[in-house]
Structures are given as C-alpha cells and as structure tokens.
C-alpha cells in the first residue's frame, strides 16, 4: 500500500516525530480495518515513513472448506492452496491487503481522519511548547497587520498574536518586520492554542534588561520593581548585594550604552533607573527624581506621603502628563501629594502664576508700581498699596488674601 501518492502531504508534518506519526497512521488504518472486517486483531501493519510506504497483511488459519466459521480469520484449504500448493490445514496464511480493496470513499475518509488527527496533535504540541514559556522574551516575524492585532509567526510557522492593547502607542510594523515582545499568556480556545504577546507589560522591560545587562541576567543585580506608562516613562528599582557593583551605573552603561538599546526598543520611553532601599523616605526621594525634595512626611499606616518642594521643582516632581508622580507612587506603594515649600525663607512666587485667580489688569496695576512678586505686595500694607495704585481697597484686600493663602 503506497502512501507517497495518496498521503504525501503527511510525510513532512512539522513538530511531529517519526514514532508518533507511525502510531497515528497505524491507529487510523486499524480503525478502518475494524469497520470493514469487524476486527483488526489478525492484521499486521508495517509503516515506512521515509519511503511513504504502508503495508497491511491479514493473517488467517487454514481450515477445511466446509468448516469456515469466520471468513476474516479463517481461509478454506482450496483457496489457500491456490496461493501456495503445499499449504495444509492448521497453517497460517498471510496476504497483503491492497489499498484499492477498501474503495474510494474509505480512502477519502482515512485521509480526512488522518488530517484531523495530525492537526489536533500539532495544536497540542504548539500549546505544550509555549505554555511553559510565559514571561520569556520572544522574537518573531510580522506576518499580518490588522487594526486590532498583529499576527506574528515563529521559526516553525506557528501563529502568535500581539493585540493592540498590548502594543506601545507609537508601535508601527509592516509585514516582514522583526518583532520583539514577551509571551504574556497561552490558552486553548476552541481546541486551538492562542498565544498572546505583549510589549506593554513590565515583564517585557525586565527581559530587555536581562538581555542588555549581563549583571541582571547573572543575578548580580536584582530588579525589585518595574512600573510603566508604555511609550512615555518607566521607573525601574534595582539592587545589588555586591557592594562593588553600582546597580544603576551597570544598568545604564558607559555613556548610556546599555540603556539606549532598551529605550530605542520601547519607542524612546524615558527610563529612570533607581537604587532600591527599604527606607521609605529615601526611596520616595529617589523615585521622584529628577525633582529635588526639600522635605517629606510619611504615614506608613495609610501609605501616604506629603512631599514639599521649592516652586521650581514642583513641575519636575509631577512630570509631563503627571507620569512622574504617578509612577513614583506605584513604585514605592505610597500615595504621594506634592506641596510648595511653606518655609518663610521659601523663594518668592511670580505674580503671573496667580493669573487664574487674579485678573490680568489688576496684576498689571501692581507691576506698574514695581510689585511683580507675591512677597513684594505682602511687604506693603493695604493703605500704602491703595495710595500707589488706582485699585479699590476691597480689591487689594482680596488680592492680599489670595497671596497669603499661598504661604499658609
């Protein structure tokens, strides 16, 4: 029975070993034999995967012509002697069963059954291959780009999916591009493996550090925590148990050589690498970098921190889009509130900063008499301000009240 012509497509199936393929072929044909002969016990099936050959031999015992009970397992002597004249009653006869004997419909049924079994096994193999690889870094080729997801294939042609929500907002790929991501999860849905990738997961950033920083890969530097706003900003807390290793310096590299590769992969995501510490005050201070903190008070029970900064440091602490303070809070586990420093020696505040509370024409009146900061106004009493400006006393008192509130 030659399979090269009828079953050639099954010869080189990916990810299926020789022994498994032989077992599947034998199982499928034994099923066909049971349907045709009601039993497959007296059949030998010989499979040769390399040649694409499969032979089926039926073994029957020779009995007298009038004593045949089971035609499948017994052969009359007269029929046996036509095969070999020397045959006698009680001996066993082996005959090859030809593929054509089963008929066209049976052959088609076998092919369909074989296809289904092999595809099912391939799906199981893909699932087994990836289920233990969750969290690993993956590199594959972009095969198809859709609005809601990107289809990626591995070196064996298996399909993986990168959903839009797992893509960095500025990600842009074309068919044939190489894509790097982390394997986020592996599921079986409708008997098919579904492998989901992610480029927004903190684990992706952690794997990139492992690939770019040998000390992280070797365990000399530990990544304690990672928080991200994908494509915008990330904060990474690192620690080394070896005093000879500067964890931040090692992660950044000479002139930023190590961190630059990671930043490029993440579409210019701003990455802050911070020395981890168990001291919450110091950790919060480091986490709010690049802002310089004047002082802070924390409540460990409520996990809240009040941070005081000079006016020119407030915007740095909050950061573009509020990302810096948001990520610092996630990294440290504290709810952080930022305040302008209230010390009496605090730097002055420009009058224009109150334009949302004081009309511009009133601010201009004070500027005309040389009062362009909050303190320059508060240093004069209300009567003196009334004499120098064309403002009504009630207006002046309201302005003074607003300015005083800034320093309380």
Domain boundaries, the chain: 3-128, 132-198, 277-292+305-338, 351-406
362 within 8 A of 396, measured Cβ to Cβ: no
Has residue 70 got a pLDDT over 50? yes
Per-residue confidence (pLDDT) for residue 17, from 0 to 100: 63
Cα–Cα–Cα angle for 64, 65, 69, rounded to 5 degrees: 85
- Among 152, 133, 124, CA closest to 20: 124
% of residues, the chain, pLDDT over 70: 91
Per-residue confidence (pLDDT) for residue 263, from 0 to 100: 96
Strand partners, 233: 229, 270
Q: What is the mean pLDDT of the chain?
A: 87
Averaged pLDDT, 372-395: 87
The superfamily CATH assigns to domain 132-198 is Nucleic acid-binding proteins (2.40.50.140)
Has residue 51 got a pLDDT over 70? no
Q: For 163-182, how does the pLDDT look when each residue is reduced to its tens digit (9 = 90+)?
A: 999 999 999 999 999 999 99
Phi then psi for residue 284, to 5 deg, are: -65, -40
% of residues, the chain, pLDDT over 90: 51
Per-residue confidence (pLDDT) for residue 166, from 0 to 100: 98
Has residue 346 got a pLDDT over 70? no
- Among 224, 195, 207, 30, CA closest to 123: 195
375 within 8 A of 367, measured Cβ to Cβ: no
Per-residue confidence (pLDDT) for residue 1, from 0 to 100: 42
215 within 8 A of 250, measured Cβ to Cβ: yes
Strand partners, 371: none
Averaged pLDDT, 303-311: 90
Specify the 3-state DSSP secondary structure of 150: strand
Per-residue confidence (pLDDT) for residue 291, from 0 to 100: 92
Has residue 238 got a pLDDT over 50? yes
Q: How confident is the model at residue 340 (pLDDT cuts 50, 70, 90)?
A: confident
Q: For 314-330, how does the pLDDT look when each residue is reduced to its tens digit (9 = 90+)?
A: 888 988 888 999 999 99
Q: For 241-269, how does the pLDDT look when each residue is reduced to its tens digit (9 = 90+)?
A: 898 999 999 999 999 999 999 999 999 99
Detail the DSSP E strand segments found in 127-279. Answer: 137-145, 149-153, 159-163, 178-189, 192-198, 221-229, 233-240, 270-275
Q: Which residues of 104-131 are buried (b: 16+ CB within 10 A; e: fewer)?
A: eeeeebbeebbeebbeebbeebbbebbe
Class for the domain spanning 3-128: alpha beta
Q: How many whole angstroms separate alpha carbon 177 and alpha carbon 202? A: 23
Specify the 3-state DSSP secondary structure of 304: strand
CB atoms within 10 A of CB 205: 24
Has residue 160 got a pLDDT over 80? yes
**Range 277-292+305-338: architecture per CATH:** 2-Layer Sandwich (3.30)
- Among 1, 109, 93, 92, CA closest to 45: 1
Q: How confident is the model at residue 344 (pLDDT cuts 50, 70, 90)?
A: very low
For residue 146, count CB atoms less than 10 angstroms from its CB and return exposed for 0-12, middle for 13-18, buried for 19 or more: exposed
Q: How confident is the model at residue 8 (pLDDT cuts 50, 70, 90)?
A: very low
Phi then psi for residue 158, to 5 deg, are: -70, 145
Q: For 122-153, how does the pLDDT look when each residue is reduced to its tens digit (9 = 90+)?
A: 888 899 999 999 999 999 999 999 999 999 99
- Among 105, 89, 103, 110, CA closest to 45: 110
Has residue 271 got a pLDDT over 80? yes
Q: How confident is the model at residue 190 (pLDDT cuts 50, 70, 90)?
A: confident
Minimum mean pLDDT range among 106-115, 191-200, 303-312, 390-399:
106-115
Detail the DSSP E strand segments found in 303-364. Answer: 304-309, 335-340
User: Tokens standing for 141?
Assistant: 């080729």
Per-residue confidence (pLDDT) for residue 347, from 0 to 100: 65
Has residue 162 got a pLDDT over 70? yes
Q: How many whole angstroms separate alpha carbon 405 and alpha carbon 294? A: 20
Q: How confident is the model at residue 6 (pLDDT cuts 50, 70, 90)?
A: very low
Highest mean pLDDT among 25-29, 67-71, 146-150: 146-150
Q: For 206-235, how does the pLDDT look when each residue is reduced to its tens digit (9 = 90+)?
A: 999 999 999 999 999 999 999 999 999 999
Per-residue confidence (pLDDT) for residue 5, from 0 to 100: 45
């Amino acid at each position: 029975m030659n399979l090269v012509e009828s079953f050639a497509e099954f010869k080189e199936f990916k990810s299926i070993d020789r022994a498994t393929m032989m077992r599947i072929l034998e199982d499928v044909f034994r099923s066909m034999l049971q349907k045709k002969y009601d039993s497959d016990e007296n059949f030998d099936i010989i499979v040769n995967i390399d040649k694409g050959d499969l032979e089926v031999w039926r073994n029957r015992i020779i009995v007298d012509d009038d004593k045949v009970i089971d035609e499948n397992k017994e052969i009359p002597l007269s029929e046996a002697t036509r095969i070999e004249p020397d045959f006698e009653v009680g001996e066993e006869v082996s005959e090859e069963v030809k593929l054509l004997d089963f008929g066209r419909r049976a052959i088609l049924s076998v092919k369909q059954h074989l296809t289904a079994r092999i595809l099912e096994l391939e799906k199981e193999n893909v699932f087994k291959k990836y289920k233990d690889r969750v969290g690993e870094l993956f590199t594959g080729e972009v095969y198809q780009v859709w609005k809601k997801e990107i289809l990626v294939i591995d070196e064996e042609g298996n399909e993986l999916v990168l959903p839009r929500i797992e893509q960095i907002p500025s990600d842009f790929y074309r068919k044939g591009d190489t894509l790097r991501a982390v394997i986020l999860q592996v599921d079986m849905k409708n008997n098919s493996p579904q492998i989901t990738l992610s480029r927004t997961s903190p684990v992706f950033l952690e794997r990139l550090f492992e690939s770019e920083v040998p000390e992280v890969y070797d365990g000399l530097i530990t990544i304690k925590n990672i928080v991200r706003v994908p494509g915008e900003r990330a904060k990474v807390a690192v620690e080394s148990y070896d005093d000879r290793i500067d964890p931040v310096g090692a992660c950044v590299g000479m002139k930023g050589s190590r961190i630059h590769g990671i930043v490029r992969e993440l579409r210019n995501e701003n990455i802050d690498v911070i020395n981890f510490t168990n001291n919450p005050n110091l950790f919060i201070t480091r986490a709010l970098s690049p802002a310089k903190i004047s002082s802070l008070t924390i409540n460990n029970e409520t996990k809240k921190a009040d941070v005081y900064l000079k006016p020119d440091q407030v915007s740095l602490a909050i950061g573009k889009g509020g990302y810096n303070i948001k990520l610092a809070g996630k990294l440290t586990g504290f709810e952080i509130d930022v305040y302008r420093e209230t010390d009496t020696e605090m730097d002055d505040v420009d009058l224009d900063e109150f334009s949302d509370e004081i009309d511009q024409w009133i601010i201009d009146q004070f500027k005309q008499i040389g009062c362009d900061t909050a303190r320059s106004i508060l240093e004069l009493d209300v009567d003196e301000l009334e004499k120098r400006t064309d403002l009504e006393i009630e207006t002046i008192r309201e302005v003074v009240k607003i300015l005083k509130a800034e320093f309380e």
